[in-house]
């Protein structure tokens, strides 16, 4: 699931929380995570603490990941299979002139992550591909890839 937008955490709190025990992977950016923390009364503002608290919410099975992406910061991952600790992955830093349009960056991150997950890649490779996809998207107007671009070229 993707928190998608801060207002969804607020206006759809009840249905979101009914779905929460069934969510295996939750995607959000820092703004969405902060709003989720506020709405859930976590009393937390540190993104790492929010990731850990979110990943520890009641679950129907024992696995939940909470990748939190931010195009200008680190990608943070809280995954119970890494002993309930936060792992950080560096994002690709672009020169300001290469930053064209950030629309779709989060969706590109999710797409890259899931593309590797369904191929059985480990979480580090999933994150790496998510970062790659988001980095490519923000260098072009609109949400598009150049036709000849492939991951791991």
The confidence score (pLDDT) of residue 103 equals: 87
Mean pLDDT of the region 100-124:
90
In this structure, are 74 and 135 located in the same domain? no
Q: Which of 91, 112, 143 is the last residue of a domain?
A: 91
Q: How far apart are the first and last CA of the chain?
A: 29
The active-site residue out of 24, 46, 101, 107 is 107
Question: Whole-structure pTM over 0.75, yes or no?
Answer: yes
High-pLDDT (> 70) share of the chain, %: 85
- For residue 91 the two structure tokens come to 């994002």
CA–CA separation, 131 and 69 (whole Å): 8
Three-state secondary-structure class, residue 2: strand
How many independent structural domains does the chain possess? 2
In this structure, are 37 and 100 located in the same domain? no
**Is 107 annotated as catalytic?**
yes
Helix ranges restricted to H, 40-150: 47-55, 105-117, 123-137
Q: Which of 68, 91, 114 is the last residue of a domain?
A: 91
- Residue 58's pLDDT band, with cuts at 50, 70 and 90, is confident
Q: Which of 42, 72, 91 is the last residue of a domain?
A: 91
pLDDT tens by residue, 116-125: 999 999 888 9
In this structure, are 73 and 39 located in the same domain? yes
Question: The domain containing residue 3 runs over which residues?
Answer: 1-91
């Amino acid at each position: 699931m993707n928190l998608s937008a801060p207002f969804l955490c607020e206006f759809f709190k009840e249905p979101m929380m009914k779905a929460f025990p069934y969510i295996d992977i939750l995607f959000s950016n820092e703004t969405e995570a902060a709003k989720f923390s506020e709405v859930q009364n976590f009393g937390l503002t540190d993104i790492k603490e929010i990731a850990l608290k979110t990943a520890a919410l009641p679950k129907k099975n024992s696995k939940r990941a909470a990748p939190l992406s931010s195009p200008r910061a680190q990608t943070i991952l809280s995954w119970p299979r890494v002993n309930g600790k936060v792992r950080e992955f560096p994002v690709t830093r672009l020169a300001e002139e290469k930053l064209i349009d950030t629309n779709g960056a989060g969706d590109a991150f999710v797409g890259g992550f899931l593309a590797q997950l369904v191929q059985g890649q480990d979480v580090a490779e999933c994150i790496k591909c998510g970062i790659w996809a988001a980095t490519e998207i923000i260098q072009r107007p609109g949400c598009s890839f150049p036709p000849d671009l492939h991951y791991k070229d």
